[in-house]
Amino acid sequence: MKELDIAKFGGTSVKDFEAMSSSARVVLSNPNTRLVVVSACAGVTNLLVELASGALFGDGIEAKISELRRIHMQIIDKILPSERERCVAYLEEHLKEISDQAREASMGRSDALTDRIVCHGELLSSYLIVEVFRVLGAKARVFDVRQVMRTDSNYGQANPLVEVLAAKARELLCPLLEGGELVVTQGFIGSNSEGCTTTLGRGGSDYTASLLGEACEAKTISIWTDVPGVYTTDPRLVPHAMPIDELSYSEAAEMATFGAKILHPSTLVPAVRRGIPVYVGSSREPEKGGTWVRPTTQSRPPFRAVALRRNQTLIVLASPKMVGASGFLARVFGIFAKYRQSVDLVSTSEVSIAVTVDAGSQTSGLSHLSEDMLNELREFCHVKVESSLSLVAIIGNEMSRTPGTTTRAFDAIGDFAVRMICYGASNHNLCFLVSEDMAVPALTRIHEALLEKA
Ligand code: ADP
Ligand code: ASP
Ligand code: MG
């Protein structure tokens, strides 16, 4: 397709019949939008994660199943009466399966089972939005993305196998986009080479949209959400946040990495590989405009945005033997690699290393720090773990080449206790680690000083 647009709708954009209708109208207003990617209805993945945790039994499971039934039934209640019976049967079939799988989880949870449970959310929302298109007089069909979205077997945080995906999409998905019907598919879910269901990590539907955009050679990828574009910071936390018309790939990627939930951190990777522009807008208020994320932009201000990433844990490793010695860092990072512990920020002094790790974003809901890993580190250094921290990241351009950047940033954070600072590795960010309770006040203050008074 020459001008293919892929439109992704997040949980709030498909949360009920009205939201699905607005989203469907957005799709129908652009003739180039042929492929629609949906998340589960708002709240559904969280319910499924709880059911997969293994911590619920009997009535506890039933209560969650009833809530899932309620969310989906209020959509089914408004579709064409002729389609109702089939949709109720489809919903009940899924609820039965979820209930059986939740009981299985209560006897022993696993990441593979969790993925099998959470996938029902996207399967249900994609099935039902097709009916909403039907109400609006448009033809759409559902396509099971697991036929093409091949991943490895890293359940809960699976990595896409881009070449297999491209080949499968060319064979099975792209020809459908040339037909008369819109194609609706699921974000977030995939399958491994054995055909077992996997997921791309929480918020992963954005990533699905850009992976499919790459595989189907789309001209644009549209991420429709509950805010009219990317703002200078989360508008829910700082009411003075301002919309940004245009962002570069690097700026948007930094924002996503440092916690701006509006885009999943991997979303830009496939778009960058193919140079596909990404649009972010509100499905409820599309007329308000949005943000274009492009390879480069006209303006490159030193301060563009501030992001907040919660649930950070700081690990400080100290060893007097580090003085003048070599190989200490290699040994420490070798252990992190062995336990597949991803590390974000790093700061070192003569006898110690401080690193931050992310405690959020796991579907497993389990403690992320392996005790075995900590014990292995304790064999040769003193280990201190501090939790309940947040990262406040200033995102901009050419920061290290712009005189006065640090003075202004440090002045802004001056009234707060800062646990760690990271600056210099990237020209695009300056990060402060602060305690969780100081995060929003620090974010607000920095936003005011650097972006509102710019
Ligand atoms: P969806 O369900 O559509 O994927 P998300 O909840 O994942 O939506 O992302 C949208 C939310 O991202 C917004 O409601 C907003 O609170 C949050 N957000 C965080 N940072 C920003 C930002 N810089 N600009 C806009 N929204 C942001
Ligand atoms: N439904 C999934 C989640 O809640 C994926 C997504 O919304 O992008 O994490
Ligand atoms: Mg999201």
Tokens of 275: 């140079």
Residues 6+ apart with CB under 8 A from 275: 295
- Atom 9 in ligand 2: residue holding the nearest Cα: 202
Q: How confident is the model at residue 158 (pLDDT cuts 50, 70, 90)?
A: very high
- Alpha helices (H) in 342-426, listed in sequence order: 371-378, 405-413
Strands 182-186 and 33-38: parallel
- What values do phi and psi take at 109, rounded to 5? -80, 160
Q: Best of 23, 234, 244 to mutate for ligand 1, by most ligand atoms within 8 A of CB?
A: 234
What's the 224 CA to ligand 3 centre distance in angstroms? 10
Q: Are 454 and 412 in contact (CB under 8 A)?
A: no
Place of tokens 């997921």: 199
Amino acid 367: pLDDT? 54
Confidence of residue 349 (pLDDT cuts 50, 70, 90): confident
Ligand 1 in reach of 207 Cβ (< 6 A): no
pLDDT per residue over 386-427, tens digit each? 999 999 999 999 998 889 989 999 999 999 999 999 998 888
365 confidence band (pLDDT: 50, 70, 90): very low
Is the minimum distance from the CB of 187 to ligand 2 under 6 angstroms?
A: yes
pLDDT of residue 322: 72
Phi, psi of 395 (to 5 degrees): -115, 135
Q: Mean pLDDT in the chain?
A: 94
User: Could you tell me the pLDDT band of residue 369, with boundaries at 50, 70 and 90?
Assistant: confident
Rounded to an integer, the average pLDDT of 257-273 is: 94
Whether 151 and 192 have beta carbons less than 8 Å apart is answered as: yes
Q: Can you give the C-alpha Rg of the chain in angstroms? A: 23
pLDDT in tens, 290-318: 999 999 999 999 999 999 999 999 999 99
Burial 51-69 (b: 16+ CB within 10 A, else e): bbbbebeeeebeebbeebb
CA of 266 to the centre of ligand 3 (A): 12
The residue nearest atom 4 of ligand 1, judged by CA position, is 10
Is the CB–ligand 1 distance for residue 11 below 6 Å? yes
- Measured distance CA(174)–CA(162) in Å, rounded: 15
Decide whether any atom of ligand 2 lies within 6 Å of the 294 Cβ.
Answer: no
Question: How far, in Å, CA of 98 to CA of 89, rounded?
Answer: 14
Least confident of 1-10, 78-87, 149-158, 437-446: 1-10
Q: What percent of the chain has pLDDT over 90?
A: 89
Q: What is the mean pLDDT of residues 363-388?
A: 84
Token duo for residue 298: 């006209």
Beta strands in 264-304 (DSSP E): 278-282, 291-294
DSSP code of 422? E
Q: What is the pLDDT of residues 219-240, one digit of tens each?
A: 999 999 999 999 999 999 999 9
pLDDT value of position 453: 72
Distance 102 CA to ligand 2 centre (A): 19
> What local confidence, expressed as pLDDT, does residue 1 receive?
64
Strands 220-225 and 278-282: parallel
Which carries the bigger pLDDT value, residue 350 or residue 133?
133
Instruction: Verify whether ligand 1 is closer than 6 Å to residue 10 (CB atom).
Output: yes
Reported residue count of the chain is 454
- 228 close to ligand 2 (CB < 6 Angstrom): no
* The pLDDT of residue 306: 97
What is the predicted pLDDT for the residue at 53?
96
Q: Is 282 in the pocket of ligand 2 (CB under 6 A)?
A: no
In the chain, the amino acid numbered 322 is: M
Residue 361 predicted with pLDDT over 70: no
Task: Tell how far the Cα of 206 is from the centroid of ligand 3, in angstroms.
Answer: 7
Ligand 1 neighbour 33 (Cβ under 6 A): no
Out of 211-215, 277-281, 329-333, 347-351, least confident range = 347-351
| 45 within ligand 1 shell (Cβ under 6 A) | no
Contact 435, 416 (CB under 8 A): no
- Does the pLDDT of residue 364 top 60, yes or no? no
- Is residue 326 very low, low, confident or very high in pLDDT (cuts 50, 70, 90)? confident
What would the pLDDT profile of 50-97 be if each residue is shown by its tens digit?
999 999 999 999 999 999 999 999 999 999 999 999 999 999 999 999
Q: Is 228 in the pocket of ligand 1 (CB under 6 A)?
A: no
Calculate helix-pair angle for 81-107, 44-52, nearest 10 degrees: 30
- The interaxial angle of helices 58-76 and 111-135, nearest 10 deg, is 20
Question: Measured in angstroms, how far is the CA atom of residue 263 from the centroid of ligand 3?
Answer: 6
Q: Evaluate whether 294 touches 248 at the Cβ level (below 8 Å).
A: yes
Give the per-residue pLDDT at 360. Answer: 67
Q: Which of 45, 26, 46 is nearest to 36 (CA)?
A: 26
